[in-house]
Structure 1
Amino acid sequence: MAKRFTDSKIQSLKPTNKRAILFEDGGRGFGIRIEPSGRKSFFLEYRFGKGKERRNRVLTIGKYPRVSLTKARSIASQSLAHVEQDVDPATQKQTLIIANRDALSVADLVAEYIEKWAKVKKKERSWKEDERLLKKDIIPAIGRKKAKDIRRRDIVLLLDEIVERGAAITANRVLAVTRKMFNFAVGRDIIDASPCVQIPAPSKENRRERNLSEDEIIVFWDKLRDAKMSEEIRLALKFLLITAQRKSEVTDSEWKEFDLEDKWWT
C-alpha cells in the first residue's frame, strides 16, 4: 500500500523485472508505473460512461520527472473534474494530440503566406523579397515549430540575433514581413493572436531622399574602374547600384541564395 506520493518516495522506487504499479494512498485513481527499464510515468485510472457503457479507462499523464509530481497531481484532479462533467479526459487528450499534429509549422505558414497572400497582393519583386527574408531568417530559426506555439519572446530573440550580426535594418524588414505573415495567420484562423504585437522596430531608420541622377550614376560607374580598391569591393559596389539592395543584404548574402541559371537572387 502506497501512501501519498512525494518526490523522495518516487525517486527511491527501484525497477524490477516486471512493471510495477502503485496508487496514491493505496486506492485506485492517481498512480505511477515503474517499468523494468527504470522509466516512471504517472497515470490516472477512472470509470467513464453510463449504465452498461461504463468502463474502466486509463489516462497516461506523463513521464517523471519531465512531468513533476505537482503538475501530474493537478492534471489528475482536472481530469476527474472533466469526468464529472461527462467529458472523457483520455479522448480529450487524443483530440488535442491530433490537433497539434495537424497544426501548421512556421515553415508551412511561410509557404501559405507567400502563395495565398504575397503573390496575390504584391508585385513580383516585393513578394520575392518577402520570401527571401523569411527563408533566410525565419525558417532556419523557428521553421519547425508550430505556428500556434510561437511567442513574442521567440521573435524578439530572433531579431536580436540579426541585429548582433550587424544587420539592424534587415531586422526591421524581417519584423515587418513576419508581423504581416502572422496577421495573415490570424485572419485565416491558423492562430488566435499574433506574437508580433507590441514589438518595436529593432533599429531607427534614417530616411534617404537623395537619389543619384543618371549623369552621377555614369560618373560613379566610370570612376570605379580606376579606384584604389580590391576587385571584390568594386564588384560589390556595382552590385549594390544595380540591385538597389541594402549594404547588409549584399554583404550577408550567400551563394546558395543565387540561382545563376534563372538569374534570380532569392
Structure 2
Amino acid sequence: MAEKLTKRVVDAAEPREQRYTIYDSLISGFGLRVTPSGEKSWIFEYRPGDGGRHQSKKRITIGRIGDFTADQARKAAETYRSQVKLGGDPQGEKASRRKALTFAEVARLFLSDHVDAKRKVSTAAWYRDLFERVVIPKLGSTKAADVTRNDVAKLHLSLKSTSSQANRALAAISSMYSFADRQGLITEEFNPAKRIERYREEGRERYLSSEELARLGSAIRKAETDGLAWDINPNGKTKHVAKKKQTTTIDPFAAAALRLLIFTGARLREILHLKWQHVDFDRGLLMLPDSKTGKKVIVLNAPALAVLASIDRLGGYVIAGASAATEDEKPRADLKRPWEGVRREAGLEDVRIHDLRHNFAAFGAGGGMGLPLIGKLLGHSQPATTARYAHLDADPVRRASDTIASGLALAMGEGAADKLADANIVVLHKKREQ
C-alpha cells in the first residue's frame, strides 16, 4: 500500500533480500527505492506519451536520500509529472543529454572540419594550441550545450594577465559555437561567448633609435665572428664543459635572416620559409606564393639584395636549416636562440623579433613616406593595419604646426622675423598682417 513518504518512513525502511519500492500516497509514481545493500534513493515512475497501459513504464532517479529531503524529492517528482502531462519524457531527455557531445568533442570537430579545412596551416596550428592548452582543460568535460556564459566569463577572467590571449580565446569559442550551430550540434543560436566584454588591449610599440640600431648591428657582427659570451650554469647538466665563461657564434644563415627581417620588414615565417625559387634577382623581388595575407610581393632594396647574394645555397630554402639538402628538407623552425643572444649583447632585452617589422614601418613613416606606400611595402591588406603608424608620420604635422605657430607668434609680437626664420618658419606678408 502507498503511504505518505516522510523522514520516519525513510528511517524505518529496512533492506531486504530483494530490492523494493515504497510508493507515495500523494503523488502517483513517486517512491522510495531500497536496495539489499541498504542504499535508499528517490524515484519517479511514469508512462510516456498518452500514458496508456500499452506504454512501458519508465523510471527516473531523482537522487539519494542524503541529497534530497522527502519534501524536496516530492517537488521534483511533481515537476516531472507536469512534464509528462505535457507530453514530455524526462528519462528520455536525460538519456539524450548523457549522449550529447562534450565541449572537447565539439571543439575537436571544429578544429578538424572547419579550422584545418578553411584556415592556413599556421593559423590552424595556433587555434589547436589555444584550444588544447588553454580552453579544453577548463571546459572540455562539460556538455557543449550546458556551458554557460558564466563559465566562459570565468575562463576569460582567468586569462586577464594576458589580455590579448583572453580576447582571442573568447573569439575562438564564439566561432566554435557558430560552427556547432550551423552543423546542428547544439540548440540554434546558442552561444555562451556572446555579450562578454573584451579586455582593452594596449598596442605595444617598440621602435629602435639610431643608437640602438648601431648596437644591434654590432651585436650581429660580433655574434657571427668572435662569438657572444655565455655563462655555464653550475647546476646544469654540463659535465664535459669547463665551468667558466664561454663564447658561442651564430650560423651565417641566422645572421642573414636577422638582417633580412631588419631590411625588408617581412614577417618571420616569410623569411624562414623563403625558397630560392621565390627570389627574383633580376627584378629585385621576392615572389611569395603564400603569406598571412595571401600571395605577396616584397620589393628588395640594395642592403637586402646584398644579404641574399652573400648566402650559400645549401638547399631549397634560403635560410638553411638542419635538414638542408635532404629529401625531407624542412624550413628552419625559429630564431629564438640566436635572437636571444644578439639582443642580450645589444642590451635590447625588451625588443621582440616582430618589433623589427614595426621598426621598418616606423622609419618609413618618420621619413615622410605616405602610409599607403608603407602598407604596400609591408603587404598589409587593410589600410587600418598601417594606420597604427600614422602618429609617426611627423613631417606634414610638424609643417602644419610650424605654420600655425609662426602666425600666432607674429600676431603676439613674440620674437623677430629673423629669429623665426631660423626655425624654417614662413613669415606672412605685411598686407595680411594689416
Instruction: Report if TM-score (shorter chain) is over 0.5.
Output: yes
Q: Report the counterpart of residue 36 of structure 1 in structure 2.
A: 36
Q: Report the counterpart of residue 248 of structure 1 in structure 2.
A: none
Question: In the superposition, relative to structure 1, how do residues 102 and 61 fare at CA in structure 2: closer, same or farther (>3 Å)?
Answer: closer
- C-alpha contact (below 8 Å) 1:152/1:195 kept by paired residues: yes
Q: Report the counterpart of residue 14 of structure 2 in structure 1.
A: 15
Q: Report the counterpart of residue 254 of structure 1 in structure 2.
A: none
* Pairing partner for 1:119 from 116, 121, 129: 116
Q: Report the counterpart of residue 220 of structure 1 in structure 2.
A: 216
- C-alpha contact (below 8 Å) 1:42/1:61 kept by paired residues: yes
- C-alpha contact (below 8 Å) 2:4/2:25 kept by paired residues: yes
Q: Report the counterpart of residue 203 of structure 2 in structure 1.
A: 207
Question: In the superposition, relative to structure 1, how do residues 111 and 221 fare at CA in structure 2: closer, same or farther (>3 Å)?
Answer: farther
> How far off its partner does 1:179 sit?
1.7
* Pairing partner for 2:185 from 163, 169, 190: 190
Question: In the superposition, relative to structure 1, how do residues 146 and 81 fare at CA in structure 2: closer, same or farther (>3 Å)?
Answer: closer
* Separation in structure 2 between the aligned mates of residue 16 and residue 198 of structure 1, nearest angstrom: 53
* Separation in structure 2 between the aligned mates of residue 13 and residue 148 of structure 1, nearest angstrom: 41
Alignment-mate amino acid for residue 147 of structure 2? I
Structure 1 regions of 5+ residues with no counterpart? 245-266
Q: Report the counterpart of residue 315 of structure 2 in structure 1.
A: none
Q: Report the counterpart of residue 76 of structure 1 in structure 2.
A: 77
> How far off its partner does 1:243 sit?
11
Structure 2 regions of 5+ residues with no counterpart? 234-335, 342-351, 357-434
Corresponding residue SS for 1:59 = strand
- C-alpha contact (below 8 Å) 2:80/2:90 kept by paired residues: no
* Separation in structure 1 between the aligned mates of residue 93 and residue 217 of structure 2, nearest angstrom: 61
* Pairing partner for 1:103 from 95, 100, 105: 100
* Separation in structure 1 between the aligned mates of residue 355 and residue 130 of structure 2, nearest angstrom: 16
* Separation in structure 2 between the aligned mates of residue 137 and residue 119 of structure 1, nearest angstrom: 19
- C-alpha contact (below 8 Å) 2:29/2:45 kept by paired residues: yes
Q: Report the counterpart of residue 176 of structure 1 in structure 2.
A: 171
Alignment-mate amino acid for residue 176 of structure 1? A
RMSD across aligned positions (CA): 4.0
Residue by residue over 1:202-229, the C-alpha shift from the partner in whole angstroms, topping out at 9 and shown as x without a partner, is: x32112466679x977953753869999
Q: Which has the higher helix share?
A: 1
Corresponding residue SS for 1:173 = helix
* Separation in structure 1 between the aligned mates of residue 14 and residue 137 of structure 2, nearest angstrom: 42
Percent identical: 24
Residue by residue over 1:85-131, the C-alpha shift from the partner in whole angstroms, topping out at 9 and shown as x without a partner, is: 6x4x6xx3453244224322111112121222223332222222111
Question: In the superposition, relative to structure 1, how do residues 156 and 16 fare at CA in structure 2: closer, same or farther (>3 Å)?
Answer: same
Alignment-mate amino acid for residue 75 of structure 2? S
- C-alpha contact (below 8 Å) 1:61/1:75 kept by paired residues: no
Alignment-mate amino acid for residue 189 of structure 1? G
Matches within 5 A, 1:145-156: 145-156=142-153
Higher relative contact order (CA 8 A, sep 6+): 1
The worse-fitting range, judged by mean Cα deviation, of 42-51 and 74-83 is 42-51
> How far off its partner does 1:137 sit?
0.6
* Separation in structure 1 between the aligned mates of residue 205 and residue 182 of structure 2, nearest angstrom: 35
- Structure with higher Rg: it is 2
* Separation in structure 2 between the aligned mates of residue 109 and residue 74 of structure 1, nearest angstrom: 35
Q: Report the counterpart of residue 135 of structure 1 in structure 2.
A: 132
Alignment-mate amino acid for residue 93 of structure 2? L
- C-alpha contact (below 8 Å) 1:41/1:60 kept by paired residues: no
Question: In the superposition, relative to structure 1, how do residues 44 and 176 fare at CA in structure 2: closer, same or farther (>3 Å)?
Answer: closer
Corresponding residue SS for 2:25 = helix
Question: In the superposition, relative to structure 1, how do residues 49 and 210 fare at CA in structure 2: closer, same or farther (>3 Å)?
Answer: closer
Q: TM-score, normalised by structure 2?
A: 0.45
Corresponding residue SS for 1:42 = strand
Alignment-mate amino acid for residue 241 of structure 1? I
> How far off its partner does 1:160 sit?
2.2
Between the two proteins, the alignment pairs up a number of residues equal to: 234
